[in-house]
Amino acid sequence: MRHVNHTIDKLNRFIHDRKSNMKSLDFKPTGREMAPSTHEIDAWADKDAQRIFLHKDGNGCYILDKLGKGLGH
């Protein structure tokens, strides 16, 4: 959970003040097969790398939907 919280903090900093390195998050859109998720980011990177899948709600807030393997796995 510590890794997930750290990643969410980095995403929040980027969204609010653009001071985070977005490349380190690998923030990108997902495909339709991950609905309702519209975007994904790296939760952590190692041999058991995981992705956080999320979408924006009607108020512009990101909602975390799932933690799991990326679409390429």
Tell me, yes or no, whether 73 lies in a domain. Answer: no
pLDDT digit string, tens, across residues 13-25: 888 876 555 677 8
What integer is the mean pLDDT of 24-38? Answer: 83
Select the highest-mean-pLDDT range: 14-23, 32-41, 49-58: 49-58
Q: Residue 73's pLDDT is what? A: 46
Chain-centre distance of CA 38, in angstroms?
Answer: 10
Q: Which amino acid is at 23?
A: K
Q: Which two tokens stand for residue 3?
A: 């890794």
Domains held by the chain: number: 1
Contacts made by residues 57-61, CB under 8 angstroms, sequence distance 24+: none
**Domain limits for position 9:** 2-68
3-state SS class at 44: strand
What pLDDT shows up at residue 44?
81
Q: Is residue 13 part of a domain?
A: yes
Residue 59: pLDDT band (50, 70, 90) is very high
Nearest-angstrom CA–CA distance, 69 and 72: 8
Residue type, 27: F
What's the pLDDT score for residue 4? 87
